Structure 1
Amino acid sequence: MKIPLWSCLRLAPRIILVIVGGLLAVKAVDKAMPLLIRPPEIMFFDRDWLLDNLRDIRDRSVTVPAAERPVALQDLPFRRWLDIEPVNARPEFPHTSRTGAFAELHLQIADTLGLAPQDVLLMADDLDDPEYSPRPLVVILPPLPTVMTDVLEDRRSNMLSSDMRIAFRIGPEEWLLVTPHSDGQETVRMIRNMLLPLLAVVMIGLLSVWVARGIVRPLDDLAAAAETLGRDRELSLVGDFNAPELQAIGNSFNEMQRRLKQFVDDRLQMIAAISHDLRTPLTRLRLFAEYVPDPDQRRQVLSDINDMEAMVSATLTYASNRLKDEARSAVDLGSLLISLCDTAADAGCRVVYEGPDHADLTCRPVAIRRAFANLIDNGCKFGSEVQVRLHDRPDAIVITVADDGPGVPAAQREEAFRPFTRLETSRNRETGGTGLGLTITRDVIMAHGGTIQLDDSPAGGLLATVTLPKVR
């Protein structure tokens, strides 16, 4: 989805706008929350009123039996402001050791009730943001009238509590817990306090993902285009990247593709032309060879001509890239490999096939046949025995071709796939070849979305592992 003017912005302004937009969105949610969930009530308690009512609570509690205590306390007139709960053990909340007004209030409560300070507990939490308190707020006012400077000197934090609790002993194991009257919204406010930062993270995260996708998607397109160019030697132009910086990269990448494609096509066309022009003199040489009187010499000359024609054919195949233009169809890969192994065995090579007789794969039949024929022929040229194994997996077919020849050193295996490359140290030049067999094989395998890897075979030669996905 394109947003007007957004595509004209560079990446830095986009990121700044997303950050500012995220902060504004979070602030808007913060301001909207009080409209959805009302803030906590604020109760103003006169200190003398609170002390008098605490004394009445204790007097009423100690003069009635424990069984009648809840009913007796229920009728007190201040129950609209205070909740009273009898408990059979010392409450678990910690005593607040605050200074100032609340420390003085603690001592006044103990003195008013005639109790030792350790028999009175006072908890009065303060909050940096009182509006986020899940419980009603309590403000303890000094006796009125008062001078405002007295409150200022005592600090607002000492007069405002977000969770005030008062507990005092009324028996050996009996306590009373007095708290401000609850409005029943504590759970809702706690959920709000948890959801607000979570919502902020989600909103900023979604905006960040949106911007990040706009940056990462073009990079993914570039990677896919580069993969297509390297695998199929075909142009894969990238489109509109919707960002000036990335669009410049895309345009440069497209121009680079065109130049590389033109460079490769020119040289392949030259190679194809040379190879094609060699066919005429090779045909004349074949005719002249028929008149060589010595049978051994004639046989040797014809063999050399056959090798040269095979080289020309392989070069034309590689240069024309026609194997990749073949239509795909369903192929029984098991039967195809068995047929190739039988052909190689008829030519005098010892080839062993292991695997199922049938394994269906949608592919380019001629290209796949050429690829595996190259692997088996290489094994027969450089070894005395070739083992071909097929593993039919749910998502892919894996074929291994192993020989007992000299193998290829690990440092030179990638070089073996380069066009017209022949490794003298491991593969004897006298065996012939153009150095295009593995090149064509890898091109075909990669065009099918597969991979080919060279390793050491158990017999000491070369092990080629081909993986072909069933769905591409």
Structure 2
Amino acid sequence: MGPALVLAALAIGAGTLWMWTKSTANWRAHSTDAYAAGVTIYYAMQNGTAPPDGVSLSPLPDADQIHANAGTFRQISGAPTAPRITIVPILPDVANQTTGAAVTMAILSPSITYSLADLPHRDGQTAAETMGEIIRKLAVFCSDSFVLARMGDAPWVHLDGTAVWGCAAAPPDRRLLAGMLGIIGVGILMTTALNLPSTFSTFAGHLRNRRRVGGPTHYDAMGPLELQDIIAAVNSYLEVERDQLAGRAAVLSGVSHDLGTPATRLRLRAALVQDPELRRKFEADIDKMTGIIESVLTYTHVEMGAEEPRNLSLTSLIDAIVANYQDVGRPVTFRSANDVIVPGGKSIFMSRQGYGVFSSDRDVVVSGRSVSLERAITNLIDNALKYGRRATVSLETNAHTATITVEDEGSQSTAADIENLLAPFQRGENTATIDGHGLGLTIVSTIAKLHGGTLSFEDTATGIAALFTIQRD
């Protein structure tokens, strides 16, 4: 599409240039012909020679001669109705004053009063050349004028030259059309040039949000050839990535399934161990082994983003999760958010700026994966309970994002220490007393990225706050 538009713009540009050049040449030729006709008319009036082609010189009738001598040109028969009158005196040549005579012209135009100040004038310009310039002006400014002239005291004559300076004799002026076509061509080129980076940016935005919004696994080629090559490469990469993730999940699922039977046998055999302490250790190792496998499977499924996003109430989801913990006596609370005050625009009717208030009781709706979000919030609450005495959950939103904050109380770690545990299988120094496999925060961080957000931590006066931020749309 882009190359076609460029070719179309170039074709329009070439057509515009040809049309402008052709019209300019035609008007220049028309002007030159009118000038030559004016020079010939002067000599025809002076010497009685033949007028130029397309021009006739007709003496006025006696009644009209009286009106012309009196200056009442509007009373002459054949004159336009309510014309604008331009009187043009042409002095005789300086070198020919003995035989030449002044020429007086009366131009009666239906719509134009001709300006004489802008007529070309040079030293030594002859009277014939001056009349040529006047006839040129008549030809350039189309108005179908009624032209009278006399030389000296000779009778007035009617100069009928509509074939030379009339509106019908003027060539078509396509320069305005050429200018409009030129603007259209420039507009096409500018639109193509401006849309080119926009096309790349649009595709980059779609690709950036692909996993967050459950986008397609294949993109149709669009835009310029360079972008089509990029899209083809991205499609190839996505296919390889999808196959790798599917293969990884299949392998882990197979390993989990295959280890299920020996793990069951180990449990049965561990039950036969007479030593209670040794039996407990066997069972703990078996539980740890199966827990690691299940954690890896959970991480892989989250990374694949198999769950389709949908609109859900984040407020209701958090409230239900917190209620489940409270039902079993765990110290988890949901802290209500503060009302949001939004400054309003200034008004010409008030000296102070207004504002709007959004109640904290409002329902926060997001587009997301409910199971993944529930797993992320649960993991953060579990971590807060493991490393502290209680967990407090809160929700803050704006027009674009929603931030779930989980604060613990009594944790001895710092935010920097927790940031280092985001990589897979990274655990803190107190692994001997805290259960886990090192994938909880990694899963939460992956879920945040799937929703266009981030996972970060902050130190508080009582412990650590985990900030789980996601995009709302």
TM-score w.r.t. structure 2 length?
0.53
Kept in 2, the 8 Å contact 1:235–1:261? The answer is: no
- Partner deviation per Cα, 1:210-244 (whole Å, 9 max, x = no partner): 2553564256335523642x658986323233644
| Aligned partner of 2:416 among 404, 409, 412 | 409
1:440 aligns to 2:446 (yes or no): no
Kept in 2, the 8 Å contact 1:272–1:319? The answer is: no
Counterpart code for 2:456: L
- Partner deviation per Cα, 1:307-361 (whole Å, 9 max, x = no partner): 4433332222333459944466664433432333344456675333212677353
Paired position in structure 2 for 1:369:
374
1:353 aligns to 2:360 (yes or no): no
Kept in 2, the 8 Å contact 1:375–1:438? The answer is: yes
Paired position in structure 2 for 1:456:
458
Kept in 1, the 8 Å contact 2:393–2:404? The answer is: yes
Paired position in structure 1 for 2:426:
422
* Higher helix fraction (1 or 2): 1
Q: Distance in 2 between matches of 1:324 and 1:280?
A: 29
Shift of 1:373: 0.6
Kept in 2, the 8 Å contact 1:376–1:401? The answer is: yes
Over aligned residue pairs, what C-alpha RMSD do you find? 5.1
Q: Distance in 1 between matches of 2:182 and 2:432?
A: 70
Paired position in structure 2 for 1:286:
267
Kept in 2, the 8 Å contact 1:402–1:463? The answer is: yes
Shift of 1:273: 2.2
| Aligned partner of 1:140 among 113, 121, 129 | 121
Q: Distance in 1 between matches of 2:117 and 2:13?
A: 29
Task: State how 1:318-329 maps to structure 2 within 5 Å.
Answer: 318-321=299-302, 324-326=305-307
1:385 aligns to 2:390 (yes or no): yes
1:239 aligns to 2:246 (yes or no): no
Query: Which runs of no fewer than 5 residues in structure 2 stay unpaired?
Result: 36-70, 74-83, 89-114, 130-174, 337-359
Paired position in structure 2 for 1:400:
405
Q: Distance in 1 between matches of 2:116 and 2:456?
A: 71
Paired position in structure 2 for 1:24:
14
Q: Call closer, same or farther: CA 1:206–1:464 in 2, change over 3 Å.
A: same
Kept in 2, the 8 Å contact 1:385–1:403? The answer is: yes
Q: Call closer, same or farther: CA 1:435–1:238 in 2, change over 3 Å.
A: same
Paired position in structure 1 for 2:62:
none
Kept in 2, the 8 Å contact 1:275–1:315? The answer is: no
- Partner deviation per Cα, 1:92-124 (whole Å, 9 max, x = no partner): xxxxxxxxxxxxxxxxxxxxxxxxxxxxxxxxx
Query: Which runs of no fewer than 5 residues in structure 1 stay unpaired?
Result: 8-13, 45-74, 83-133, 149-192
Q: Distance in 2 between matches of 1:387 and 1:24?
A: 72
1:207 aligns to 2:161 (yes or no): no
Counterpart code for 1:409: A
Kept in 1, the 8 Å contact 2:217–2:239? The answer is: no
Shift of 1:446: 4.2
Q: Call closer, same or farther: CA 1:291–1:341 in 2, change over 3 Å.
A: farther
Q: Distance in 2 between matches of 1:284 and 1:397?
A: 47
Q: Distance in 1 between matches of 2:116 and 2:290?
A: 93
- Partner deviation per Cα, 1:244-267 (whole Å, 9 max, x = no partner): 444333333322222232233323
Q: Secondary structure at the match of 1:140?
A: coil
Q: Secondary structure at the match of 1:141?
A: coil
- Partner deviation per Cα, 1:402-421 (whole Å, 9 max, x = no partner): 335314428x84x7544x33
Q: Distance in 2 between matches of 1:195 and 1:383?
A: 79
Counterpart code for 1:269: A
Task: State how 1:3-402 maps to structure 2 within 5 Å.
Answer: 6=3, 17=7, 20-21=10-11, 23-24=13-14, 27=17, 80=86, 137-145=118-126, 203-214=185-196, 216-217=198-199, 220-221=202-203, 224-225=206-207, 227-228=209-210, 236-241=217-222, 243-293=224-274, 298-299=279-280, 301-321=282-302, 324-326=305-307, 331-344=312-325, 350-355=331-336, 359=363, 361=365, 363-391=368-396, 393=398, 396-402=401-407
Q: Secondary structure at the match of 2:292?
A: helix
Kept in 2, the 8 Å contact 1:402–1:457? The answer is: no
Q: Secondary structure at the match of 2:120?
A: strand
Q: Call closer, same or farther: CA 1:197–1:271 in 2, change over 3 Å.
A: same
Q: Distance in 2 between matches of 1:325 and 1:264?
A: 11
Paired position in structure 1 for 2:98:
none
Counterpart code for 1:387: T
Kept in 1, the 8 Å contact 2:403–2:470? The answer is: yes
Shift of 1:466: 2.1
Q: Secondary structure at the match of 1:261?
A: helix
Kept in 1, the 8 Å contact 2:422–2:442? The answer is: yes
Shift of 1:463: 2.2
Q: Distance in 1 between matches of 2:235 and 2:457?
A: 36
- Partner deviation per Cα, 1:130-156 (whole Å, 9 max, x = no partner): xxxx998431233444999xxxxxxxx
Counterpart code for 2:458: D
Q: Secondary structure at the match of 2:121?
A: strand
Query: Rg larger in 1 or in 2?
Result: 2
Q: Distance in 1 between matches of 2:387 and 2:206?
A: 37
Aligned residues: 331
Q: Secondary structure at the match of 2:218?
A: coil
Shift of 1:401: 1.7
Kept in 2, the 8 Å contact 1:276–1:316? The answer is: no
Kept in 2, the 8 Å contact 1:391–1:399? The answer is: yes
Q: Call closer, same or farther: CA 1:439–1:137 in 2, change over 3 Å.
A: farther
Q: Distance in 2 between matches of 1:326 and 1:290?
A: 39
Paired position in structure 2 for 1:466:
469
Shift of 1:454: 0.3
Q: Secondary structure at the match of 1:276?
A: helix
Q: Distance in 2 between matches of 1:30 and 1:135?
A: 28
